[in-house]
Amino acid sequence: MPDLVTLSLFAAATLALLVVPGPAVLFIVTRSVAQGRSAGLVSVLGVHAGSLVHVAAAALGVSALLAASATAFTVVKWVGVAYLVWLGARKLLRRGGAEEAVEVGEHSRRRMFWEGFVVNVLNPKTAIFFLAFLPQFTDPAAGPVAAQILVLGVVWIVLGMASDGTYAMLASTLAGRIRGSVRARRRLDVGSGVVYLGLAAWLTGEKA
C-alpha cells in the first residue's frame, strides 16, 4: 500500500489539479447556478460516482485498452458528445412554466445524479488521465498495484468531492439573487445550454 509520504505527495498533486476548473466543474457550476445548491451537490455526487468507474477501470486495466484503441476512444467520445449536445439543445429550446415545477422534485435529483454520472463516465480523457496519473504514485514493491490504484483513487474522489462541492456552494450562493426572475431563469437556461454544447465541442477536440 502507498506510504504516508506518497499519499501526501499524491494529495498535493491532486489538489493542484482539482482547483483548475475543467469540464466536470463547469457541469457542476452550471447546475448550481440554474437550480441551486442541492442540485450542484447532487451533481457532484453523480460526477464522482462516475470517477469510481474510472478508478476501477484503471485498476483492472480496462483504461489501458481504451488508451491503446483509437476505435474505442472514438466511440466513447462521440457517445459523450451526443449526450452533451442533447442536454444543451434541451436547455436552449426549453420555455419556462411546467417543467420548472418538475425539476425541483426527487425525480429531478435522481436525474441530475445520473446526468453527472454519465457525463463523467463518457469522458474518455478522464479514463486516460487516471491511467496516466495514478500509476505514477504506485510501487510494485509496496504490494499489488491494483490495490494501490484503488487507494489513490479513493483519495482523489474524496478531495474531488470537497473541491467540486466548494464550487457548487459558491456558484449557488452567487446565483441566489437572480433565480426568482423568469427572465433570469431563461438566461440561465441559455447559459446552461451553451455550457453543455461547449463541453461537447471540447470533447470533439480530444485526440486518441
pLDDT of residue 76: 66
CA distance 40 to 32: 4
Is 66 within a domain?
yes
Structural domains in the chain (count): 1
**16 inside domain:** no
Provide the residue range defining the domain that includes 167.
24-204
Is 14 domain-assigned?
Answer: no
pLDDT of residue 15: 86
For residue 97, the model assigns a pLDDT of 45
pLDDT of residue 101: 38
Rounded to 5°, angle at Cα 24 from 203 and 69: 40
Nearest one of 162, 136, 158 to 149, comparing CA atoms: 136
What confidence score (pLDDT) does residue 98 get? 41
94 inside domain = yes
- pLDDT profile of the chain (208 residues), mean per 10: 83 82 79 85 94 89 68 71 81 61 52 88 78 79 84 93 92 69 66 75 62
How far is the C-alpha of 115 from the C-alpha of 131, rounded, in Å?
23
Kindly state whether residue 5 falls inside one of the protein's structural domains: no
> ∠ at Cα 5 (2, 10), nearest 5°?
70
